[in-house]
Structure formats: structure tokens, C-alpha cells
Structure 1
């Protein structure tokens, strides 16, 4: 029985890193590890947790939460995003 490994998330510009499991969102992983990650609604509405995706890939459960403009700006809704690879995200207010 094989188990998918955790992925590594790096937040720029702070350089903060944490791991995210295959069944948790990026936000859930950050909060589980005691990271002060901005969030409010946890439903993809308030945009407090939105980061810019610098590298890596994420997936979302349907329905797709991102608009065409969100995608063009490389926005990632961390409360809804599942890591599909190691990630580098940018959020100016997350500190290490």
C-alpha cells in the first residue's frame, strides 16, 4: 500500500516553509502547523487567504472557484486549494 507524500509549501517573501498533506487544503495545513495565515470565511469568498502562485500546481474541488481574471493573475485560494506538487506562493503579509 503506497501513500502519497506530503508536498512542501514555501511562502515568499518571508521564506516560511511548511508541509501539506494530500487530503488537506493549503490553509488547513498552515493552521495545523501553527502558522499565522490570513483567513476569514474559509469558503473562497473573502479573499484573505489568496496568494499568487509562483510555481507548482494546485487543484480544487468542483465547482472551479477561480474566474478567468483570477487565473490570469495566478491567484490561489488557499482555503480551497489542494497541492498537486511542491508550491511557491507569494503573500506579503505572512511572516516567518
Structure 2
């Protein structure tokens, strides 16, 4: 199954394949997506989830505060639905 991810405000869209993280798909599509550690520690890939749903492999990387603020760790996030994410530094 493939899900469509749109990054606002740049309005970049790309497909994420089954078993692929949001970050992996973005890089595969040539998008200059901020990332460093790819382990959910550095937070450079964190986006705000505007719509849709993601899942994570255990252990769950999000704190309660992350969940309340709708943060998505794109290096670890697998889309369950189409997504709209917000990252102010990603440009089209």
C-alpha cells in the first residue's frame, strides 16, 4: 500500500511505500529533508502532523508532550493514511 504525504507550506507531495519511513521516502524522491541521526534523537526531521495517522515500531518514540503537540518523527514514522505534515524549513 502507498500513502501520499504532503509537506506544508512548501506543498511538496510524494508517495511512501509500505515498510518505508516518511524520511526514507522523501530522500528517495530527492526532497531536501532535514535529518541527522535517523534515530529520533536529534529532532531535525520532526514535523507537525496536520492530518492523517502514523505508526512507530516499538519502543514508541513520542512523549506525551510530543503527542499533544502533534509532533511526528519522520525518520521513524510509517504512514497509516495519507498525511499532511508541516515543516517550516523544507522548500519546494
For the aligned pair, the TM-score class normalised by the smaller chain equals: over 0.9
Are positions 1:73 and 2:77 aligned together?
no
Where do 5+ consecutive residues of structure 2 fail to align? none
> Deviation at 1:22?
1.2
The runs of at least 4 aligned residues of structure 1 exceeding 2 Å deviation read: none
> Deviation at 1:42?
0.2
Where do 5+ consecutive residues of structure 1 fail to align? none
Are positions 1:7 and 2:3 aligned together?
yes
Instruction: Give the Cα separation in 1 of the matches to 2:32 and 2:38.
Output: 14
The alignment partner of 1:28 has SS state of helix
Number of equivalences = 92
Q: Deviations over 1:23-67 (max 9, x none)?
A: 100000000111100000000000000000000000000000000
In structure 2, the residue matched to 1:41 is 37
Instruction: Give the Cα separation in 2 of the matches to 1:87 and 1:35.
Output: 16
In structure 2, the residue matched to 1:17 is 13
